Chains A and B, each alone.
Chain A
Amino acid sequence: MPDGALAAPASGAGPTARRPWRPPLDWVGVAPFLVVAVLFLILPTLHIVQAAFRDGSGSFTLDNLWGLNEPSIRQAYWTSIQVSFLSALIGCAAGFALAAALVLGGLPRWVRAPMMTFSGVASNFAGVPLAFAFIASVGPAGLFTLLLRNEFGINLRAHGWNLFSTWGLILTYLYFQIPLMILIITPALEGLRREWREAAASLGATGLQYWRMVAVPILLPSILGTLCLLFANAFGAVATAMALAGPTFNIAPILLFSQIRGDVLGNPGLGYALALGMIVITGVANALYIVLRARSERWLR
């Protein structure tokens, strides 16, 4: 994979990068794609990465990266990591429970197709409208909030509930995290062969032992891989948080948004470093996802 990343800019940089033993016509076919990818994906990203290591006069420095170790920026990253990790963890657990209920729980067959369709819709229902839906239902004047207060005498606010907080953001993100988990893990659960269970049973395994020693080890790479994917998915999200809690909510993507718009950190270099930090975090999460997915495909196909 890393070789690919290095080879790509070189091959798209121009006709000079042609391999001598290949007829040039072959490269013409992929040239438009490579040129577009280099201009609008790779170069912009590399520009941010290299700028993170430069000071105002353009010479090399690590000050920008050290600058991230400032309480407010550290707090922004930490809140982002918490929101992403918890929403990924809960999303995985709830999505797994729902998928298991659909596949293994003896629910009527006809439930599955609508649930999968809905998951497809909900996993793409993100951004600004999703925030609106949550404000209208569990916000301070939301219908569910008012219903609980007026009909059941439960005041969510008095119990510490606030939609415009870390937990509010987590609850909202779960709306696309859970369906994504369902979409990914359902095929994996369907791939658990009946024979494995029968083989385990005929060797005297209990249901619990089957899960602990056969099913979970097979599913674990899928589950952990999806956890990483969901983490990265939440970490880069801007719009939902923006529409929900506003531009002052201190998480990394919103801080970067404000920095791009108006240099709120008072140091352009710090903005690049902030972006670099985000690339590193989502990059690691995605790399883990790719590795784990390759492992899970060994048993489940």
Chain B
Amino acid sequence: MTRPAAWVALVLGLLYFVIPLWGMAEFSLRMRRGVYSLDAYGSVLANPEFQRTFGFSVLMAVVTILVGVLLVVPTAYWVRLRMPRLRPVVEFITLLPLVIPAIVIAFGYIRLYNTGSWLPLTGTAGGANVLLLMGYTMLALPYMYRAVDTGLASVDVRTLTEASQSLGAGWGTILGRVILPNVVVAVLSGAFLTFAIVIGEFTFAALLDRPAFGPFMQRVGEDSAYEPSALAVIAFAITWACMGLIGLVTRTQKHTRAGA
């Protein structure tokens, strides 16, 4: 590719990527007639429904991360250590959430765990929260598993395990105090990506009728003009922060590795 052509491609690309960001940013400042103001943000932040749904989604994201880590780290570790033959099966399962559209999984939850079924989870708020949590865990599974498995590939799992065992450590100690610290960067990367995915998720939350941030944003979009742009700016900032944190922890690791 010639240099002028490369510049043309870059400039066109930048225009395409910047215009929507510029549009939402400027629109979000226009609530007060004639001058730029932060009124739209004030209106959004003061909305009790924003506070409730945002808090709900943050909590959901944190619990999803915890459940994901508790599920993925021991599994990836165990498969590497003891059950390498199961590896293709586990990897295939972790890829399924990318293959099956989220809306189909949510549909399955609603039909399989309805009030008349053997496990009537949709009948109560707590049960529906559990379904939402498991749905999010499944959404995060491909990213979480791949991150942790790649992290495990760079440490000698077998030697670490045998060394810990010869010093008298049990499985809990090995996992929590030997393996986890070695893959903490991978876990954090997976965690921030999970946060970015869960915080504004719409399909599961809407179909399971949970008071989450995604459906709230959609409702605001239906009946106000400037607030949606303010919400879009907030959501973009959160996504950016999550990706920035991933970059940050990954760089720290490279740094310590190089120094060691």
Cβ-based interface call for A65 (8 A): no
| Nearest CB in chain B to that of A285: its residue | B99
Contacts of B20 in A (CB 8 A): 130, 133-134, 136-138, 175
Interface residues of B in 105-128 (CB under 8 A from A): 105-112
Contacts of A32 in B (CB 8 A): 71, 74-75
Cβ-based interface call for A97 (8 A): yes
CA distance A16 to B7 in the complex (A): 63
CA distance A137 to B136 in the complex (A): 31
Contacts of A175 in B (CB 8 A): 16-17, 20
B221:A107 contact, CB within 8 angstroms:
no
- How many residue pairs at the A-B interface have CB separations less than 8 Å? 266
B1:A45 contact, CB within 8 angstroms:
no
CA distance A1 to B217 in the complex (A): 39
Cβ-based interface call for A124 (8 A): yes
CA distance A29 to B157 in the complex (A): 15
Interface residues of B in 84-139 (CB under 8 A from A): 86, 88-90, 92-93, 95-112, 131, 134-135, 137-138
A133:B1 contact, CB within 8 angstroms:
no
Binding site of A, secondary structure by majority: helix, strand, loop or mixed? helix
Cβ-based interface call for A187 (8 A): no
Interface size on B, residues (CB 8 A): 84
Contacts of B96 in A (CB 8 A): 37, 41-42, 45
| Nearest CB in chain A to that of B86: its residue | A30
| Nearest CB in chain B to that of A7: its residue | B89
CA distance A88 to B126 in the complex (A): 39
B243:A124 contact, CB within 8 angstroms:
yes
CA distance A34 to B231 in the complex (A): 38
Q: Separation in Å of the A9 CB from the closest CB of chain B?
A: 10
Cβ-based interface call for A128 (8 A): yes
Cβ-based interface call for A294 (8 A): no
A129:B231 contact, CB within 8 angstroms:
yes
Specify which of A11, A26, A34, A41 lies most central, judged by the most chain B CB atoms within 10 Å of its CB: A41
CA distance A173 to B229 in the complex (A): 18
The contact of A236 among B86, B89, B101, by CB within 8 Å, is B101
Specify which of B1, B72, B95, B218 lies most central, judged by the most chain A CB atoms within 10 Å of its CB: B1
Q: Separation in Å of the B88 CB from the closest CB of chain A?
A: 5
B89:A8 contact, CB within 8 angstroms:
yes
A236:B221 contact, CB within 8 angstroms:
no
| Nearest CB in chain B to that of A141: its residue | B225
Interface residues of A in 121-143 (CB under 8 A from B): 121-122, 124-125, 127-138, 142-143
A120:B138 contact, CB within 8 angstroms:
no
CA distance A122 to B235 in the complex (A): 11
B232:A260 contact, CB within 8 angstroms:
no
The contact of B102 among A105, A111, A238, by CB within 8 Å, is A238
Contacts of B74 in A (CB 8 A): 29, 32-33
Cβ-based interface call for B190 (8 A): no
CA distance A238 to B27 in the complex (A): 25
Q: List the 4 closest A-B pairs by CB distance, nearest first.
A: A105-B6, A137-B23, A44-B108, A236-B101
Q: Give 17 CB contacts A-B under 8 Å.
A: A26-B83, A42-B96, A48-B104, A100-B1, A104-B6, A127-B201, A127-B202, A137-B23, A137-B27, A142-B23, A144-B19, A175-B20, A242-B202, A253-B103, A260-B110, A279-B100, A282-B101
